[in-house]
Amino acid sequence: MKSVLCAAASVLAFTGTAQAVERTFQFTSTVKQIVSKADVVPDVELSSITLPFGTATIGDAVTATVTYDTSEEAHLADWGGANFRRPLSSFINLGNGAIVRGGEAEGGVIWTHDNDLYPSMGDGFSSYAYFFRNNFSVREMIAVRLEDASGTVLNGYQLPGSELTNFRAGSFTYSYEGYTLDADGYHNFRWDISGDITAIAAVPEPGTYAMLLAGLGLVAWRRKRA
């Protein structure tokens, strides 16, 4: 038994010292608002929208993920926050698979704000990932915005790790926008699908699963020998 406990402890110690650079977080929400925007036309709120790849409806379940590199260097901004390069990837699932979009981000930005460094604004985290389609005539965006009025989540300019799950308020927006061209010229269009984030969870890295399985296998082998 002692050897089993020692093996388990060594695995846990090894796992605990592993330093992850890439972090992935999942956000849960529901579709709260759908807005249609177009040239010289007032915004129109819709109960549902049919896009080229599926239909989204008010009340649909939503999950979104964002993956970023925590070692990214901060670029300080005049407004009191820090800008980082775009997220590595972002995905969104609307209506339990009715619409699944995203991938490796082709453009975008992450920014943070730490209330300790610039009081009165609270802590904030925002991720914007852009994807270009149809020879750049269409752009999709997945945005996640988190806020903490108490200013107790972030500590400094570095990108957050597990503390990101301590945010208690936030929202998502999925945008599909672009232009069409006819004899009258260019015509812009945009649809925004948004809602409030209700839960945030860290997604374990594949390496974490591998170490856990290896540790369980070692413990089982030691127990069998004992």
Rounded to 10°, the helix 2-17/206-225 angle is 170
CA distance 124 to 115: 8
What is the pLDDT tens value at each position of the chain, 226 positions in all?
Answer: 444 334 444 444 444 444 548 999 999 999 999 999 987 679 999 999 999 999 999 999 999 999 999 998 899 887 678 999 999 999 999 999 999 999 999 999 999 999 888 787 899 999 999 999 988 899 999 999 999 999 999 988 889 999 999 999 999 999 999 998 888 888 899 999 999 999 999 998 765 444 444 454 544 545 555 5
Dihedral sign, Cα of residue 14, residue 17, residue 22, residue 27: positive
The answer to whether the beta carbons of residues 45 and 31 sit under 8 Å apart is no
pTM value is 0.81
Q: What is the DSSP string of 35-64?
A: EEEETTEEEEEESEEEETTEEEETT-EEEE
The Cα 154–Cα 57 span in angstroms is 34
Kindly state the tokens that stand for 26. 């999942």
Nearest by Cα to 87 from 109, 59, 61, 54:
109
Q: Which token pair is 8?
A: 């388990």
Query: In whole angstroms, what is the distance from residue 67 CA to residue 200 CA?
Result: 13
Radius of gyration of the chain, Cα coordinates, nearest whole angstrom:
22
State whether the Cα torsion 60-96-86-211 is positive or negative: positive
Give the C-alpha separation, 64 to 166, whole Å: 17
The domain ranges of the chain are 24-225
